[in-house]
Every structure is written in C-alpha cells, then in structure tokens.
C-alpha cells in the first residue's frame, strides 16, 4: 500500500467479471503486506482487507449455479433465454396459430382466411361425388377426406409444393379466370398402378430422378378431367360454373396464374386406394372466386332458394297503407341558364298543352299514371286513365319519347 516516496499505490482496475478474482487476490496481497509492516492501525488497510474478503466471497458465489450476478455487472435484471424467446415469439411449438411478438411482424406476409361457408359445403359435396366417381374409375375401394383449408400467398404455395408433382391448370369459364389442381407423387403412382393392373396391397414402385412418361401423363389427365367434372357438379347448386382443363405442368414456375403476392385459398384432400394413396390440393385465387363471392358467403342454401311468405305478406300490407305524395306534371321543357336568371316577377311562360292533353302523375322521379285534368266541386282534379309501363315493360322507351 505504501511506497518509499510516500505515494499510495493504486489498485488494478477491473475490466469485467473475469478480472474479479485477480482483483481480490491483489487486494489480499496488499492487505497482507500492510499487516506485516505493522500498520494495523491504518484504517485504509483495514478497509482493503474487508473489501478483498467481500470480493472473494462474491467471486466464489458467482461461480455457483443460481448466482445472482457478479460485481461490476449492470444492476438491471438480465432476461433469460425463455423470456427472450417469448418476446420474439419463437417457441418450441412454433406451429401454433396464436403467435405474438415480433414474430408477427416478421411474418406479416401471412394472410387471414376469409371464411366462405358455402365453398366449404361445395367441397363436402365434392367428397361424396368424387368417392363414387373414383370407385367406378379405378374399381377399387376409395376413401376421401378433406384434411384442411388454408389461406396462403400464391408465391408461398408454389414454393411449398413437394416435387415431383403434377400441377393441373384449369379455367373457370363463367368466371373467366384460372385455378390450380396439384396431385402429389404418391397419388400419381397409386392411380397409375391401379389403372395398369397392379396387385392389391402392394405399394407402387416409385422411380426417382426421371420425368413422367407420356402414358403416365395421359392417365393423370383422365383423372384430372374426372375431378374437374365432379367439381363443376358440386358447384352447380350454388352457382353454375364449368371448369375447363387447360394443361398439366411439372414445373411450378410454368403454373403461375396470378401474381406471387395474391391471396389464395387451398383445399387439401386425402385420397386412399386400399393401402396406397396421396393428396390432392385445390387452389382458388380470391380473384377467381370474386364473381361468386356473395353467393359463397351464404351460410346455407336457403338464403338463395328460399322465401319467407309471411314476411312478404306483411311487407305488402304495410306498403299498401303507406302515404306518398304525387305530382301532376302538365309539361316539362328546358331553358338556358341565362334565360332562367333573367326571369322577373310578372313574366309569363307559355305552355304548349291544351285542355285535353294528358297529365303525368309522378311519385318523386318515377312516373306512375297518365291522367286528364279537370275540375270537381270547385277544385282541380285529375282522372287516372292508364298506368305507365315499368322499366321491364318498356318504360324507358316511353320516357325517352316524352323527353323528345
């Protein structure tokens, strides 16, 4: 602690948690030198010894499991790895739908599936129809189940297609847009094996590293045309639409029908043929479903086909009791804006109608009846002679003729 020149030696500075033990030994050594020199009465020496002992205890305690911290660390509490993962939204069960934190911002390209109840009914109906069709097509017992319904970006879906696979591009004729049907490799080989007379109970031989042959493509095309025909039948009660087969692609890049960022709804269907089978996915861009969106938002078919006779009768009765204001229009003509602004009190406007000219009775801007003007008991009156035809009956032509 004390030099020959009377200057006190400074203790070594602490550079972090790793230097705490060296610092403690230095203070202990200094305190020991002071004691041997007989300077026990020096309060600084006593303080140095006490500090060295305290630091040594902290260093050894920090090396033990569960230690709170070391001297020189920030007094703020450090976050554990579990707390950091919770903050960022990364968990072991990362597949959960209730993601939170920064993970939502990172995956902001995910979209929310807009429920189309009637579209789900259509695919439930497709399950039943397609089960019968595939049994007749393959002469095998067929089990079809709808696995899940998801909403994805079109680009993300193309990147997630397991290759090799066949992607059928088909067009909705009435909607004038396209959709995709993806058939995975296990289902392709299962159908080909069944159609070419493979034995029951044996898994089809899958050859990797080669493209599909022309025969295999033709057989899958027959399957795709059958599926599209049944899909049109399933849509028929909701909205008449015909799905036309366009082409088959094996490269997802050649199956692009919309922009990569467009939202799509994907229906994944599992098809089992005895002990073999695979999956089939239907992709519909929301732009393709837009013409029938109002119909697909229905909760049940009764919203389209049913009618409430009690409500109709009540509405008709109330409408007949409603009071409306009618206007008797003798004649209409057009004047320039400048002439209208020059009109003064006392000027007269000459009408071209005569005493027997018809009068049009209007409710707002809608003409209802044609009538004749007259007088009854010292009051002006009109006598209704005919009803003005509605728009469906050619009323627009009559209005154009009157305006001319």
Residue 12 clears pLDDT 80, i.e. is over it: no
**pLDDT band at residue 130, thresholds of 50, 70 and 90?**
very high
Looking at per-residue pLDDT, the higher value among 404 and 125 belongs to 125
Task: Please give the pLDDT value at position 43.
Answer: 55
Is the same domain home to 220 and 351? no
Domain-located, residue 22:
no
Q: Given 304, 331, 360, which residue is the final one in a domain? A: 304
Residue 381 clears pLDDT 80, i.e. is over it: yes
Report which of 245, 198, 222 is spatially closest to residue 137, judged by C-alpha positions. Answer: 222
Q: Are 168 and 252 in contact (CB under 8 A)?
A: no
Task: Give me the mean pLDDT over the 319-335 stretch.
Answer: 84
**pLDDT band at residue 246, thresholds of 50, 70 and 90?**
very high
How far is residue 115 CA from its own chain's centroid?
Answer: 9
- Mind giving me the DSSP string for 58-110? HHHHHTSTT----TTS-SSPPPPHHHHHHHHT--TTTT-S---THHHHHTTT-
Residue 166 clears pLDDT 80, i.e. is over it: yes
For the segment 268-283, what is each residue's pLDDT rounded down to a tens digit?
A: 999 988 778 889 999 9
Mean pLDDT of the chain: 76
Rounded to whole angstroms, how far apart are CA atoms 262 and 288?
11
Is the same domain home to 211 and 340? no
Contacts of 258 (CB under 8 A, 6+ apart): 154, 178, 264, 285, 287
Is the same domain home to 388 and 281? no
Is the same domain home to 282 and 152? yes
3-state SS assignment for residue 6: coil
Is the same domain home to 209 and 339? no
**pLDDT band at residue 1, thresholds of 50, 70 and 90?**
very low
3-state SS assignment for residue 273: strand
Is the same domain home to 155 and 257? yes
Helix axes 214-235, 185-195, angle to 10 degrees: 100
Domain that holds residue 356: 323-403
Is the same domain home to 179 and 210? yes
Looking at per-residue pLDDT, the higher value among 18 and 207 belongs to 207
3-state SS assignment for residue 209: coil
Rounded to whole angstroms, how far apart are CA atoms 304 and 299?
10
Q: How many helices (H) and strands (E) does the chain have?
A: 14, 10
Domain-located, residue 102:
no
Is the same domain home to 383 and 263? no
Residue 212 clears pLDDT 60, i.e. is over it: yes
Looking at per-residue pLDDT, the higher value among 43 and 154 belongs to 154
CB neighbours (10 Å) of residue 34? 19
Task: Please give the pLDDT value at position 199.
Answer: 67
Domain-located, residue 9:
no
Domain-located, residue 14:
no
Is the same domain home to 201 and 130? yes
3-state SS assignment for residue 345: coil
Domain-located, residue 376:
yes
For the segment 31-75, what is each residue's pLDDT rounded down to a tens digit?
A: 565 555 444 455 555 666 666 565 555 444 444 444 444 444 445
Is the same domain home to 345 and 263? no
Residue 266 clears pLDDT 50, i.e. is over it: yes
Domain-located, residue 171:
yes
- The encoded tokens of residue 17 equal 């948690």
Residue 5 clears pLDDT 50, i.e. is over it: no
Task: Please give the pLDDT value at position 62.
Answer: 43
pTM over 0.85: no
CATH number at residue 170: 3.40.1550.10
Q: Are 174 and 242 in contact (CB under 8 A)?
A: yes
Domain-located, residue 30:
no
Is the same domain home to 257 and 351? no
The region of weakest confidence among 59-68, 126-135, 214-223, 244-253 is 59-68
CATH number at residue 377: 2.30.330.10
Task: Give me the mean pLDDT over the 139-162 stretch.
Answer: 88
Is the same domain home to 298 and 245? yes
Q: Given 277, 304, 331, which residue is the final one in a domain? A: 304
How far is residue 367 CA from its own chain's centroid?
Answer: 47
Q: Which residues pair with 8 in a beta bridge?
A: 2
Q: How many domains does the chain have?
A: 2
Q: Please, what sign has the CA dihedral across residues 152, 158, 163, 164?
A: positive
């Amino acid at each position: 602690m004390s030099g020959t020149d009377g200057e006190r030696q400074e203790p070594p500075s602490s550079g972090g948690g790793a230097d705490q033990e060296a610092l403690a030994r230095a203070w202990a050594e200094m305190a020991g030198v002071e004691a041997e020199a007989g300077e026990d009465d020096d309060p600084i020496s006593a303080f140095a010894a006490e500090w060295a002992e305290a630091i040594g205890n902290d260093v050894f305690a920090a090396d033990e499991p569960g230690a709170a911290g070391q001297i020189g660390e920030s007094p703020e509490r450090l976050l554990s790895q579990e707390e950091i993962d919770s903050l960022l939204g990364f968990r072991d069960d990362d597949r959960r739908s209730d993601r939170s934190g920064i993970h939502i911002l990172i995956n902001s390209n995910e979209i929310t599936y807009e429920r189309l109840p009637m579209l789900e009914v259509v695919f439930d109906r497709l399950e039943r129809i397609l089960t019968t069709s595939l049994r007749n097509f393959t002469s095998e017992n067929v089990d079809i189940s709808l696995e899940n319904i998801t909403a994805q970006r079109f680009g993300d879906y193309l990147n997630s297609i397991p290759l090799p696979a066949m992607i059928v591009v088909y067009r909705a004729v009435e909607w004038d847009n396209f959709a995709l049907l993806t058939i995975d490799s296990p289902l392709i080989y299962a159908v080909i094996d069944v159609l070419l007379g493979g034995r029951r109970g044996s898994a089809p031989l899958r050859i990797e590293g080669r493209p599909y042959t022309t025969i295999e493509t033709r057989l899958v095309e027959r399957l795709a045309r059958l599926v599209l025909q049944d899909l049109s039948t399933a849509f028929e009660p909701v909205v008449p639409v015909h799905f036309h087969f366009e082409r088959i692609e094996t490269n997802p890049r050649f199956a692009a029908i919309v922009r990569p960022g467009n939202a799509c709804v994907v229906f994944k269907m599992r098809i089992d043929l005895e002990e073999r089978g695979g999956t089939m996915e239907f992709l519909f861009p929301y732009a393709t479903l837009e013409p029938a969106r109002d119909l697909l938002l229905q909760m049940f078919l009764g919203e389209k086909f049913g009618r409430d006779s009690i409500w109709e009768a009540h509405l008709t009765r109330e409408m007949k009791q409603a009071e409306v204001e009618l206007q008797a229009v003798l004649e209409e003509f057009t004047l320039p804006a400048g002439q209208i602004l020059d009109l003064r009190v006392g000027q007269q406007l000459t009408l071209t109608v005569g005493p027997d000219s018809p009068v049009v009775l209007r409710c707002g801007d809608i003409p209802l009846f044609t009538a004749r003007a007259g007088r009854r008991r010292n009051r002006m009156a009109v006598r209704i002679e005919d009803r003005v035809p509605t728009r469906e009956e050619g009323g627009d032509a009559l209005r154009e003729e009157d305006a001319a």
